[in-house]
């Protein structure tokens, strides 16, 4: 075992393969999205999920002050969407959205979750968002995007 430093810590975590989501909220009718792979299921009953967001992330306050979010699980065909929403201040005009009452969803995803934020826990340099899942849909025909070793695979 090696003594931990930022380089070997990040590299070690990158060996955990994940899917990728884009979490969307809204402020003044503008949709704000962020590429997130710290998404995970938390509870079946009640249905709860979580993700963590960097405290210094652009638009952190928008997410922190939101009541509702969409979590969009990306398909293998949506690398461009992951790239767009991992930039600072991405232009959401390039994205096709499906609009519902509380929130917008990204078209073409493998699954969508409509969520209400019920708790936020600041730990270290990130905040864990705990969300109750209100509605879901999914597409059995699509394949997921995968992220491993800091690369799409």
Ligand X SMILES: Cc1cc2nc3c(=O)[nH]c(=O)nc-3n(C[C@H](O)[C@H](O)[C@H](O)COP(=O)(O)O)c2cc1C
Residues at the interface with ligand X (CB under 6 A) = 20, 34-38, 51-54, 57-58, 82, 86, 88, 147
CB of 65 vs ligand X, minimal distance in Å? 16
Q: Which is nearer to ligand X, 87 or 100 (CB)?
A: 87
Q: Which is nearer to ligand X, 3 or 88 (CB)?
A: 88
CB of 11 vs ligand X, minimal distance in Å? 15
Q: Which is nearer to ligand X, 105 or 147 (CB)?
A: 147
Q: Which is nearer to ligand X, 100 or 120 (CB)?
A: 120
Sheet order of strands, 126-138 included: 30-36, 21-27, 68-73, 111-123, 126-138, 48-54, 40-43
CB of 89 vs ligand X, minimal distance in Å? 7
CB of 50 vs ligand X, minimal distance in Å? 10
Where do the DSSP E strands lie in 1-152?
21-27, 30-36, 40-43, 48-54, 68-73, 97-99, 104-106, 111-123, 126-138, 147-148, 151-152
Residue with tokens 């799409």: 152
CA distance 20 to 138: 15
């Amino acid at each position: 075992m090696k003594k931990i430093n930022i380089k070997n810590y990040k590299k070690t975590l990158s060996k955990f393969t994940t899917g990728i989501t884009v979490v969307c909220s809204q402020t003044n009718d503008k949709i704000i999205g962020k590429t997130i792979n710290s998404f995970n299921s938390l509870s079946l009953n009640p249905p709860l999920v979580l993700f963590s967001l960097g405290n210094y992330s652009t638009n952190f306050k928008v997410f922190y002050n939101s009541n509702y979010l969409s979590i969009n699980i990306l398909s293998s065909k949506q690398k461009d969407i992951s790239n767009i929403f991992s930039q600072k201040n991405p232009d959401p005009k390039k994205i096709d959205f499906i609009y519902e009452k509380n929130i917008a969803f990204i078209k073409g995803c493998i699954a969508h979750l409509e969520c209400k934020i019920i708790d936020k826990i600041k730990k270290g340099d990130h905040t864990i968002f705990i969300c109750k899942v209100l509605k879901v849909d999914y597409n059995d025909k699509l394949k997921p995007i995968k992220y491993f070793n800091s690369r799409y695979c």
